[in-house]
Structure 1
Amino acid sequence: MAITLREITDENREAVLALRVAPGQEQFVSTVRYSIREAAENPHGNPWYRAVYAGDEPVGFVMLSWDVVPQPPHINGPWFLWKLLIDERHQGRGYGLAVVQQIVRLIEPEGAKELLTSYVPGDGGPAGFYERLGFTPTGELDPEGEVLMRLTLPWRDTAGPA
């Protein structure tokens, strides 16, 4: 199913804030509420975030550092996939892949040559998901010990259809 990325408004805010990862995944991705607060506290990271919709239903949340001047180790970029959350009821349906596809379609025309992300290592974490999409470790860790990964653009999507 196709997804759309929509701004968070007064009309959809509560439904988006209610999105949750599956039990045991909380150590790998923060809540939407925390992510929005983190964006407000870190304007130098040029946060850009959207609700992920399948039809008329919110199914996830995504946040990037949008064309930011990199200031390692605290600001990665210029294009950094800061948060990706798919609600526990909607995981396993290809929405995560579809979000990355949409993000790539948005940033490539802006001149992006790579998309960076990071993940918390651990069993049940997102490392395998990112690797299946073609992200590769950079060999670096961020200050919190997250593994930094890179997706080189243009991207030859090998993960399959959305």
Structure 2
Amino acid sequence: MAVSLREITDANAEAVAALSVSEAQQRFVSSVTESLEEAEEHPQDKPWFRAVYADERPVGFVMLSWDVEPRPPEIHGPWFLWKLLIDERHQGHGYGRDAVRLVADLVRDQGGRELLTSHVVGDGGPAGFYARLGFEPTGETDPDGEVILRLAL
């Protein structure tokens, strides 16, 4: 299946908002609705978000800080993968991997040399996923204790 990133519109907003992770994963990533509220509350972080589609079906959500002025420890950047959610029914098919690769390509096309992200530490968390994609710990943590990771582009 072809994975793409699409704008969230009136036509797909309900389907995208209905995407969710398993109960066990909820401590690692907020819901789509919570993420969009967070984007609205933090315009200084320059939120850029898209639905992740597999062919014509929404399967996930991604949100970045887009070319933002870094102000650690609150704002890392300029390119920061802020949220990545793949619906629990669609995990294990490579959609998350493909979404991150698409994001990395977009950032690279904008002149970005690295993509940063962070993750909550814990069993069942996304550390292994990010490591498999080539992200490496920077040695920093954010104010919430999340580990900051870097992917060289």
Aligned residue number for residue 151 of structure 1: 151
The residue identity in structure 2 corresponding to 1:105 is: D
Aligned residue number for residue 40 of structure 1: 40
Distance 2:71 2:128 in 1: 27
- SS of residue paired to 2:150: strand
Residue deviations 1:104-142 (CA, integer Å, cap 9, x gap): 111111110100000000000000000011100001110
Distance 2:9 2:110 in 1: 25
Distance 1:70 1:105 in 2: 20
Distance 2:105 2:145 in 1: 29
1:77-116 equivalent positions in 2, closer than 5 A? 77-116=77-116
- SS of residue paired to 1:81: strand
Distance 2:55 2:114 in 1: 29
Aligned residue number for residue 7 of structure 1: 7
Aligned residue number for residue 140 of structure 2: 140
Return 5+ residue gaps in structure 2 as ranges.
none
Paired residue total: 153
Distance 2:33 2:139 in 1: 30
Using the size of structure 2 for normalisation, the TM-score is 0.99
Residue deviations 1:13-70 (CA, integer Å, cap 9, x gap): 1100000002200000000000000000000000000000111110000000000000
Aligned residue number for residue 64 of structure 1: 64
- SS of residue paired to 1:99: helix
The residue identity in structure 1 corresponding to 2:141 is: L
Using the size of structure 1 for normalisation, the TM-score is 0.93
After TM superposition, which residue ranges in structure 1, 4 or more long, deviate above 2 angstroms? none
Return 5+ residue gaps in structure 1 as ranges.
154-162
Q: Does residue 1:26 correspond to 2:18, yes or no?
A: no
